[in-house]
Structure 1
Amino acid sequence: MPSASSDDQSFIVSDHALDAARTCVWEFTPETQSLRIRARGHPVLPQIEGDWKLSDFLPLLDGLSGPSFVAALGDIDGHERLNLPLGLSDGETMRLVGARSEDGQVRGLLFVSQAEHYTASESQLEAVFQPIIRLSDGSIAGFEALARWRSSEGKLQHASDFTGQASPLSNSGLAVEMLTQSANALADWWQDFPELKLFVQVNLTGADLFRADVLTRIDELVAADRFPVNSLRLELTEQMALRDFDAGVAAATALQASGVALVLDDFGSGHSSLAWLSAIPAVGIKFDPHLTRLAGTPRTDAILSTMTQLAHSLDMTVTAEGIEDFEKVQFLRSIECDYVQGFAYAHPMTRDKAKRFLISQNSLSNLGI
């Protein structure tokens, strides 16, 4: 998430939103043919939650779902994703999404019913975009999409403008609209500037990970084939892991298998960062801005340098955000940090301004400037 300003924060969602989604986490161990299903919070379908042998679980499914489930589990490999409807013998319907993780486990989410779907008018919710700069040559690598609310007076507002009142930006359902606007912008930029190979990163909350409508929209956007796989990226914070590590890993595995890339945001802000790093199939990390601002002290510099080397050894990129001046850029370049983001380079801008920004930067690049 952007950190040059503390006003830009992830949407804050209560545990009630997770319960309302009626989502279970599941994990299958091929070697033992063992299946574990558990709810996120309060029980969702007690009759299927718990630890099962696959052979004991299959009689709970209807006549068509059992063979489909077995076939899907048998065919899956590291590059495939499970996404199939299932029915219980008592008539309840579900949707199962998942993929195989590096540890050999097959895990994901089980949506017992569609989460409540919120919609927002494009005239109200508007994505703005902050450039992410490639540190090696100063070129634009991509953007982070941030949510703003267009008031009746035409002013763009963010969460801090709603002090003392409910902010429309706290509605987790707006993630669907943010994903849509971000994907549309990304598709246009790939059409106009294919040589730049841009990406767009969108923040998701812990609650968004467990919403059926969010995963469905991601599937639709990727399937439309308007931009390359993995150029739409999702920023995940460690706070998701702190609340329920196993569930966060299951959700992230399902997301990554759908054709989006994952970036670990605010890396270094909590005690489980290394566990999160080892379990999530991410393409990059973003340093926690508070850590970035401490650069220049021996201990912090050693930490940032070591974390960068670790990320690169895992074929992950590193982004330093919250860069408000150029004092720390030379150090970040010396440790081979890949990207920087912050007010020193550019403020968040509307989609139209972002296109003009791309045109101007591309023109300078073509002139060799």
Structure 2
Amino acid sequence: MSEKNTILIVDDKEVNRECLIKLLEDDYNILEACDGEEAIEILDKNRDIISAVVLDIIMPKLDGYGVLNEMSYRKMLPKIPVIVTSVDGDEASELKSLSFGASDFLGKPYNPIIVKKRLQNIIHLKETASLVNYLQMDTLTGVYSKETFSKKTKEILKHSKDKKYAIVYSDIENFQLLKDLFGEKTGDNLLVFMAKVLKHYVNDNELCGRIENEHFVLLKEYDKKSLHNDLDIIVKTVNDFPVNMNLRLRFGIYLIDTAKMSMHAMINRAILAVDTIKGRYGRYIAYYDKEIWEKQVHEQEILNCMEDAIKEEQFKVYFQPKYDLNSEKVAGAEALVRWVHPEKGFMNPGEFIPLFETNGFITELDKFVWDKTCSYIQGWKEKGYPIVPVSVNVSRTDIYNPDFIDIIMGIINKHGLKPENIHLEITETAYTENPHQIIEEVKKLKLLGFVIEMDDFGSGYSSLNMLNELPIDILKLDMGFVQGDLSMNSNNILSFIISLAKWMDYAVVAEGIETEEQIQMLRNMDCNFVQGYYYAKPMPPEEFERHLVEHSILNNDMEGLEMNFSDTEFRKSPGIMLIVDDLVLNRKILSSSFSRYFKTVEKENGAEALEYIKEHADEIDVIMLDLVMPVMDGFTLMKQLKLENKYSHIPIIVTSQGNDKSVEKSFALGATDFVEKPYNPRIIMHRVQNVVMAYKNARAEAKENEKNDSVS
């Protein structure tokens, strides 16, 4: 048996209520109120379960008309049908009740059959109307659903062949930001408000619907001047919504030239139009035209041949060098993909990368690039060339793939490499879309030994929050920071970002460098690394290989320095250089530079270094120590070593960003020398030579003195 509906009986006379209760209690759950005020209280509390109200007109405190009036202003109550009761034959009361929103009328004394039938009809009508409304209307905003909009548009076009119509698609460009800043409720309120504004500008034989999220669509009779005027007013009105933020509305317009086209295709063309003006200040209207159609055809051609392009290796990996800003030597590279089509020639990555990100093919392309990059690095290793870390892109789709780590590690192992040979570039937008998941994945990658670069830093709005949460190693500054106008404001922003990164012990790569002026500015701001056309464009592997051999910070260019060192003074030592730095790149630069003179041992924090020193103190010739590290920093390590005299014979060269306080504190704790980052190869070579030789001479002199003392 189905669950009973609930009705509310409102009458100041108990006998009337009892009569109706006795008549209806077998079929309904019944609530009762003795006056209008009590009725409103009950309705407010039980609006979700009351299916109908039987309401007397003449009552004290608040009469039936007053109840109807109150119900019209309260949430959800206007949807509850009301049957008014009064003396039979009172036509004036019946008409007045209907004008106040009543659904039907019952005369007194009650006819049991009529009472039951009218209640049954009115509840059934309400339920049927609710179902139809639910299926046809968007539940939040009250405009047509996508399906109903499409159906009704087709009907209008079918019967109005002599009229010109347009599909107008609306987009609130920064809607997600609004929800993040002010909450979901504010976002919903804005959509309800916008729906009301749009409906105000919809006439007879025109429609308004909601497609999804913040996207609405209109069917409008087309008159360019009138339509543009309406859209202009809509933009201004929506921006009056009470929130402290400028709302960027955009409209895409498709002029319907045939009713035979599917509604999906029509709406999609309006969407394509609006996409052409996203991010463009001052433009909020765009029409679908032949140029967009040709672009659409071109994109489809790209998608049709993408799989064959992978199989036939039409995609090529190019390398753009990254330079140490101090030495201007190659300290790394970025792997970039190029498509050399057999008929179209070189294709701009901007043509195909966004398409592949949308349809998911980017995962296949990324795997191809990773494998090719690792293959080239493997070849350079086998030839004995200097190996610098190469950055590869990791898309949002890759990060969300549960097999991603297995895939990338499989490629690394296949080519006999280590994770530190590959830097993983992750875009800032990936973090803003799903922070929790990307944080967890990056933590796993770092445990495996990968270096994480944040690409396009500064392009999103969550940058500072991201720095606090995401365990990254290197920031790649968005080229927007360093291109174009080098005004005082842009300099201040850039300087702040670099200083913040240094304070958090991140290395900084500035990309898109094109002028000497930019280089000087970045040097003054103590930026670590640069990348851009000023130094080199992306180049094919063979050309990069030659460039790497000639210009690498890790190559045998140090042979020129050896001419200044006599073998008797600084020949290869059997001792150990202990390199303590949490950044892999910094460790590798030092290790590669000094591996011909020492056995180099790397540790990524002070705690690991201290344990190693305790076991190998007599073998260590020098410690290269960073100051800012997790677990145990450089200052703390020096304090620990200073507590025991048995470590005093080991010289400590501090390698960090210099300031007066850190230099002074380092020497107070026993540092032998201080070398600022980024490293200058010639300077650091001389510093290490001087320190090591001085300590060796001091130890030799001490032993000689001990020998003489024992003889005398």
Match of 2:530 in 1: 340
Q: What amino acid does structure 1 have at the position aligned with 2:533?
A: F
Match of 2:394 in 1: 204
Q: What amino acid does structure 2 have at the position aligned with 1:189?
A: W
1:247 correspondence with 2:443: no
1:149 correspondence with 2:339: yes
1:182 correspondence with 2:373: yes
1:273 correspondence with 2:463: yes
Tell me, yes or no, if the aligned pair for 2:353 and 2:362 is still in contact at 8 Å: no
Task: Specify the SS of the correspondent of 2:311.
Answer: coil
Match of 1:172 in 2: 363
Could you tell me which of 489, 506, 510 is aligned with 1:316? 506
Q: What amino acid does structure 2 have at the position aligned with 1:188?
A: G
* Structure 2: stretches of 5+ with no match in the other structure: 1-306, 562-681, 683-712
Task: Specify the SS of the correspondent of 1:241.
Answer: helix
Question: Structure 1 residues 295, 202: CA separation in 2 closer, same or farther (over 3 Å shift)?
Answer: farther
Q: For 1:137 and 1:291, how far apart are their aligned partners in 2?
A: 23
Q: What amino acid does structure 2 have at the position aligned with 1:330?
A: Q
1:77-92 equivalences in 2 (<5 Å): none
Task: Compute the displacement of 1:309 (Å).
Answer: 2.2
Question: Structure 1 residues 268, 171: CA separation in 2 closer, same or farther (over 3 Å shift)?
Answer: closer
* Structure 1: stretches of 5+ with no match in the other structure: 1-117
Deviations for 1:62-112, whole angstroms, at most 9, x for unmatched residues?
xxxxxxxxxxxxxxxxxxxxxxxxxxxxxxxxxxxxxxxxxxxxxxxxxxx
Tell me, yes or no, if the aligned pair for 2:362 and 2:397 is still in contact at 8 Å: no
Q: For 1:134 and 1:169, how far apart are their aligned partners in 2?
A: 35
Please identify which structure carries the higher strand content.
1
1:298 correspondence with 2:488: yes
Deviates more, 1:215-224 or 1:313-322: 215-224
Task: Compute the displacement of 1:315 (Å).
Answer: 2.4
Q: For 1:266 and 1:312, how far apart are their aligned partners in 2?
A: 17
Task: Specify the SS of the correspondent of 2:502.
Answer: helix
Question: Structure 1 residues 121, 239: CA separation in 2 closer, same or farther (over 3 Å shift)?
Answer: same
TM-score (ref. length: structure 1): 0.60
Task: Compute the displacement of 1:340 (Å).
Answer: 0.6
Please identify which structure carries the higher helix content.
2
Q: For 1:227 and 1:276, how far apart are their aligned partners in 2?
A: 30
Q: For 1:290 and 1:228, how far apart are their aligned partners in 2?
A: 33
Question: Structure 1 residues 162, 220: CA separation in 2 closer, same or farther (over 3 Å shift)?
Answer: closer
Q: For 2:361 and 2:414, how far apart are their aligned partners in 1?
A: 28
Question: Structure 1 residues 193, 339: CA separation in 2 closer, same or farther (over 3 Å shift)?
Answer: farther
Tell me, yes or no, if the aligned pair for 2:456 and 2:476 is still in contact at 8 Å: yes
TM-score (ref. length: structure 2): 0.33
Question: Relative contact order: is structure 1 or structure 2 higher (C-alpha 8 Å, sep ≥ 6)?
Answer: 1
1:218 correspondence with 2:218: no
Question: Structure 1 residues 301, 356: CA separation in 2 closer, same or farther (over 3 Å shift)?
Answer: same
Question: Structure 1 residues 165, 312: CA separation in 2 closer, same or farther (over 3 Å shift)?
Answer: closer
Question: Structure 1 residues 158, 258: CA separation in 2 closer, same or farther (over 3 Å shift)?
Answer: farther
Could you tell me which of 321, 339, 344 is aligned with 1:131? 321
Deviations for 1:304-326, whole angstroms, at most 9, x for unmatched residues?
22222222232211011011222
1:90-105 equivalences in 2 (<5 Å): none
Tell me, yes or no, if the aligned pair for 1:149 and 1:169 is still in contact at 8 Å: no
Match of 1:44 in 2: none
Task: Compute the displacement of 1:227 (Å).
Answer: 3.4
Question: Structure 1 residues 122, 232: CA separation in 2 closer, same or farther (over 3 Å shift)?
Answer: farther
Tell me, yes or no, if the aligned pair for 1:286 and 1:318 is still in contact at 8 Å: yes
Task: Specify the SS of the correspondent of 2:396.
Answer: coil
Deviations for 1:142-191, whole angstroms, at most 9, x for unmatched residues?
11011112322594433345699989996332111111111122233344
- Between the two proteins, the alignment pairs up a number of residues equal to 251
Q: What amino acid does structure 1 have at the position aligned with 2:479?
A: P
Task: Specify the SS of the correspondent of 1:248.
Answer: helix
Deviations for 1:91-137, whole angstroms, at most 9, x for unmatched residues?
xxxxxxxxxxxxxxxxxxxxxxxxxxx89336222211111111010
Tell me, yes or no, if the aligned pair for 2:478 and 2:511 is still in contact at 8 Å: yes
Tell me, yes or no, if the aligned pair for 1:127 and 1:145 is still in contact at 8 Å: yes
Match of 2:473 in 1: 283
Task: Specify the SS of the correspondent of 2:431.
Answer: helix
Tell me, yes or no, if the aligned pair for 2:454 and 2:476 is still in contact at 8 Å: yes
Task: Specify the SS of the correspondent of 2:424.
Answer: strand
Question: Structure 1 residues 295, 315: CA separation in 2 closer, same or farther (over 3 Å shift)?
Answer: farther
Question: Structure 1 residues 268, 347: CA separation in 2 closer, same or farther (over 3 Å shift)?
Answer: same
Tell me, yes or no, if the aligned pair for 1:176 and 1:213 is still in contact at 8 Å: no
Q: For 2:325 and 2:507, how far apart are their aligned partners in 1?
A: 12
Tell me, yes or no, if the aligned pair for 1:141 and 1:197 is still in contact at 8 Å: no
Deviates more, 1:120-129 or 1:152-161: 152-161
Q: What amino acid does structure 2 have at the position aligned with 1:278?
A: N
Could you tell me which of 347, 354, 358 is aligned with 2:544? 354
Q: For 2:351 and 2:440, how far apart are their aligned partners in 1?
A: 35
Deviations for 1:262-317, whole angstroms, at most 9, x for unmatched residues?
10111112221122112222110011111111563222222222222222232211
Deviates more, 1:165-174 or 1:287-296: 165-174
1:238 correspondence with 2:422: no
Q: What amino acid does structure 2 have at the position aligned with 1:171?
A: I
Q: For 1:151 and 1:172, how far apart are their aligned partners in 2?
A: 20
Task: Specify the SS of the correspondent of 1:343.
Answer: coil
Task: Specify the SS of the correspondent of 1:217.
Answer: helix
Q: For 1:163 and 1:264, how far apart are their aligned partners in 2?
A: 19
Q: For 2:504 and 2:398, how far apart are their aligned partners in 1?
A: 27
